[in-house]
Chains A and B, each alone.
Chain A
Amino acid sequence: MDNNNRELKYGEAIREAIDLCMEKDPSVYIMGEGVPDPKGIFGTTLNLVDKYGPDRVMDMPISENGMTGICIGTALTGMRPIMTHQRVDFVLLAMDQIINNASKWHYMFGGKSNVPIVIRLIIGRGWGQGPQHSQSLQAWFAHVPGLKVVMPTTPYDAKGLLISSIEDNNPVIFIEHRWLYNISEHVPEGVYRVPIGQARVIREGNDLTIVSTSYMTMEALRAAEILAAKGIRVEVIDVRTLKPLDEGSILKSVRKTGRLIVTDTGWKTCGFSSEIVALVAEKSFSDLKSPPVRIALPDFPAPSTPALAAHYYPIAADIVVNAMRMLGLGTDSIPMRTTTSVPLDVPDISFKGPF
């Protein structure tokens, strides 16, 4: 019997998914810089080494490209590696093996071989992480055929999608956001799966559609609350899987509301938000009552100082202002970002650094 009251944090849900998969399948192993260490990748791998031993819970040399190729090689022998990088920025050193080998292996050998590998990448914002420790590069991966790209927002989805990713026979890029690790909700015990390739309507509404990724879904939900107080009913779609994309759910919502805001954790230019706007423009243009809006990062690197970071990252207030404008309403009554009392460089006021 499931304990309906059991709540897990996002990080704990990820740890449980890894634990359950390792328990049921001896070919699953996890490798990454810091995986068996006392901090355990924000708690997501904590104590797994005690249960499964150092042959299945491994640290690695600081050789991102080589170790990715090595993990791909083990996948060819029937192992199911989970590679983990504490920052997405580090995986840039491994793009050769991911793009040239993993993503194409099945196709370029005519379907005769395949690479079941999960690459966990952690993204984030704030607390001075700065230009090389807080990028959000999902669009790079979503651009490449042969990869699957997953970005869960909620603990329930994080667990269910990670289990699906580990069981998938293809390379899956699994992107987690540091600001989500402390979110908790009811997470069922045992194995369950959230299918890759399905978006989730996380809040229903008829006036406007917000399509969001990862942490920006939290900001979208906050915005939806503020707008609801003004009588505006917003539909929020958490994309969950960027590739393969659930086009149907997005188009269905836009056909209903006629208005679209897309908010993504990455850069706006050539980013994932652009892809969603292009999709709707191509397939549902006549349903649009107003031009779509992208709310994403501006075209410069992330500054380290909180004084500048506060003006760099989009928040709920930005979504609210854009929604009001889109609906032809005045924005005078909206709390602007400069007057908000919530610190903008940490997930919530309880946070004490460092990340």
Chain B
Amino acid sequence: MDEKLFHSLFYEMLRIRIVEEKIADLYPEQEMRCPIHLCIGEEAIAVGVCANLKNRDIVMSNHRSHGHYLAKGGDLKALIAELYGKSTGCSRGRGGSMHLIDLSVNFWGSTSIVGGTIPMAVGTAFGSRLKNQDTITVVFFGDGAVEEGVFHESLNFASLKNLPVLFICVNDLFSVYTHISLRQPSRSIFSLAKAHGMEAYEGDGNNVFEVYEMAKKAIKSIREGKGPVFIELSTYRWLEHCGPCYDNNLGYRQETEFNHWKSRCPLENLKKIMLKKDMITNDQIKLMKEKISNEMNEAVSLAKSSPFPDKSTLAQYVYS
């Protein structure tokens, strides 16, 4: 991997981290009046996968989608304005945090019903096939989604039709407060995809190189027409399921488990490696942070000063 790629992966991960932290800081002001599901601790998956995509490739996602949206190149200002419910938001305030879209980079939508975009992503891949377009689709979803029937229906069809779709399962162990061991038997998730007849691997979702290389291999295979690929990536949700706070005080998970995962912070670990290999300096990191913070502050100012949608537009967009 070249140094430029290291820098770019680091920068994109840092950007997502800073954006999410700033959202968490500002959330108590109660001006962002929609549920937020932050992805702090899970940045490597979004960045490592999307770094392999072309603009024309399609991404769909779930409720925890800020990172996926930004990693695909989604407009930051439109994201923040959407959280503030403003007319300049990416969904003109109709969607909020759980319904992001940026068609200019082919981020085709995130939704809030678990598993809801999995068949749609298989459908966009099917549509690309029917229209003879050289496009692949990536869909991000959590470990909970594999418990939905529609997950299996989608994998069955993707495999049957050999479709150009990459399934990324972000396994962060928890569905709200419920550990995966209470929801699924002790078998791997990716083995389910194998049973559906497709290539499937598992990897460390906190190691951006591993994610990057795994996605690269998968996407190459998909582009060669070898059919869908499934990747299960293990990671951990640092904050509460929904909201800006840490919630280990609730007792649903062990502090030791949390600390173990925090010590495996995808961003810190990458930083250590890059510093050790003299690929980056602390001054460069400082400059990056300043640049991102300025960008984020500007997005927040713009969002705050933007108008709300006018009441006369309440019934708009019901029909196309």
Contacts and interface: CB of A to CB of B under 8 A. Distances in A.
Bind each other: yes
Interface of A: 27, 29, 55, 60-61, 63, 65-79, 96-97, 100-101, 105-114, 116, 145-146, 148, 169-170
Contacts of A70: 119-120, 122-123, 126, 154, 157
Contact of B126 (A74, A106, A114): A74
Closest 4 CB pairs of A and B: A73-B123, A69-B119, A66-B153, A77-B127
Nearest to A29: B130
A288 to B, nearest CB: 29
Contact of A73 (B89, B90, B94, B125): B125
Contacts of B103: 112-113
A65 B320 contact: no
Contact of B119 (A73, A116, A148): A73
A114 B109 CA distance: 11
A112 B113 CA distance: 20
A55 B123 CA distance: 14
Contacts of B91: 108-110, 112
B156 interface: yes
Contact of A113 (B109, B116, B130, B319): B109
Nearest to B135: A77
Interface in B101-128: 101, 103, 108-109, 111, 113, 116-128
B318 interface: yes
Contacts of B101: 109-110, 112-113
Nearest to A103: B318
Contacts of B117: 69
Contacts of B160: 61
29 contacts: A63-B153, A63-B156, A66-B152, A66-B156, A67-B157, A69-B117, A69-B123, A69-B150, A70-B119, A70-B122, A70-B154, A73-B122, A73-B126, A75-B127, A76-B123, A77-B130, A97-B116, A97-B150, A101-B120, A106-B317, A106-B318, A106-B320, A107-B318, A110-B93, A112-B91, A145-B318, A146-B319, A148-B319, A169-B319
Nearest to A169: B320
B197 interface: no
A60 B124 CA distance: 17
A63 B131 CA distance: 23
A170 B93 contact: no
Interface string B215-250: 000000000000000000000000000000000000
B92 interface: yes
A342 B117 CA distance: 50
Contacts of A67: 119, 153, 157
B95 A73 contact: no
B316 interface: yes
Contacts of B318: 106-107, 145-146
Nearest to B92: A110
B251 interface: no
Contacts of A111: 92, 316-317, 320
A109 B102 CA distance: 9
Nearest to A99: B113
Contacts of B156: 61, 63, 66
Given A107-B318, A109-B109, 5 more contacts: A69-B116, A69-B119, A70-B120, A73-B126, A169-B320
Contacts of A72: 119-120, 123
Given A96-B113, A107-B318, A112-B101, A61 B153 contact: yes
Contact of A110 (B120, B153, B317, B319): B317
B150 A100 contact: no
